[in-house]
Amino acid sequence: MAFESSLLFGMYSQMKQSLQGSAQGAGPQLQVIIPSAAYSGAIISFILCPSELVKCRMQVQGTDSLVPMSRRYDSSLDCALKTVKNDGVRGIFRGGFTTLLRESIGNAVFFSIYEHVRYHMHLHLKSASPDHRNLIDVGVGIASGGLGGIAFWSAVLPLDVAKTIIQTAPDNSSSRNPFQVLSSIYRRAGLKGCYVGLGPTIVRAFPANATAIVAWEVAVKLLGIKRD
């Protein structure tokens, strides 16, 4: 997560700066934010897919799991090695297309919400006392990052549900098409089935993303990096 987050924020910043060029708009520009975020999300999906496949498979192999005893893993490394041994390199990237969709769409939503909330909050608080500027920046970071995180998972949770099913299915011949998987879930359990786990995900999303944004903005400030 440390490597993935640094890569995501770094690529997003560079891509956004490159697309903006010397033209600085009056506010957030969706034509710049969306492609920058989607591209960054697509790139990190190649890192996230193998790590999340291992995580998901380790998490579902409890005593009541459908995972056969012959397919149980002793550790995360054991899981990764056995997956490559049994399914080849392609096996470790199972669910890659779904992860790419989730990260591209999700980060486009996340950074759009984050940039707009941040811009409008700073606009309304620009008359605040300079003595409280650092405190205001932290508060804005918490609100914009937290709301962005909620928007991210609200938009792409069905894709995450499909990804988990694809990556943990014991049958290698099962569908890897996220839309077929979601269609099957919808027929069986309706829209609620596509959003299973929404509550815990949203509860986690706000503090996790708020913390990430505040850490990013503080790091940018400490490093003296100029940003709009």
Residue 138 domain-assigned (yes or no): yes
What pLDDT is attached to residue 71?
A: 64
Note the pTM of the prediction, 2 decimals: 0.89
pLDDT at 191: 94
Cα distance between residue 67 and residue 51, in whole Å: 19
Residue 105 belongs to a domain = yes
Phi, psi of 51 (to 5 degrees): -70, -35
Q: Which domain, by its residues, includes 147?
A: 1-223
Task: Output the DSSP codes for 108-138.
Answer: HHHHHHHHHHHHHHHHHTTTS-GGGHHHHHH
Number of domains making up the chain: 1
- Examine residue 228 and state whether it is found in any structural domain, yes or no: no
Question: Is there a domain that residue 168 lies in?
Answer: yes
Residue 78 in domain:
yes
Which residue, among 158, 155, 156, has the nearest Cα to 192 in the 3D structure?
158
pLDDT at 122: 87
Instruction: Report yes or no on 91 lying in a domain.
Output: yes
Q: What is the pLDDT of residues 41-79, one digit of tens each?
A: 999 999 999 999 999 988 888 655 555 555 678 889 999
What is the C-alpha separation between 162 and 149, in angstroms, rounded? 19
CATH of the domain at 151: 1.50.40.10
Return the pLDDT at 33.
95
Contacts of 218 (CB under 8 A, 6+ apart): 138
DSSP secondary structure letters along 57-101? HHHT-STT-SS-GGG--SSHHHHHHHHHHHHHHHHHTTTHHHHHH
CA–CA distance from 53 to each of 4, 10, 90, 99, 190 (Å)?
Answer: 15, 24, 12, 10, 26
Residue 84: inside a domain: yes
Neighbours of 203 (CB within 10 A): 11
Contact 141, 211 (CB under 8 A): no
Alpha carbons 4 and 12: distance in angstroms, whole number = 12
Q: What is the pLDDT along the chain (228 residues), one digit of tens a residue?
A: 888 899 999 999 999 989 887 556 678 999 999 999 999 999 999 999 999 999 998 888 865 555 555 567 888 999 999 999 988 999 999 999 999 999 999 999 999 999 999 999 988 887 766 767 778 889 999 999 999 999 999 999 999 999 999 999 887 788 899 999 999 999 999 999 999 999 999 999 999 999 999 999 998 888 887 766
pLDDT at 171: 79
CA distance 205 to 137: 20
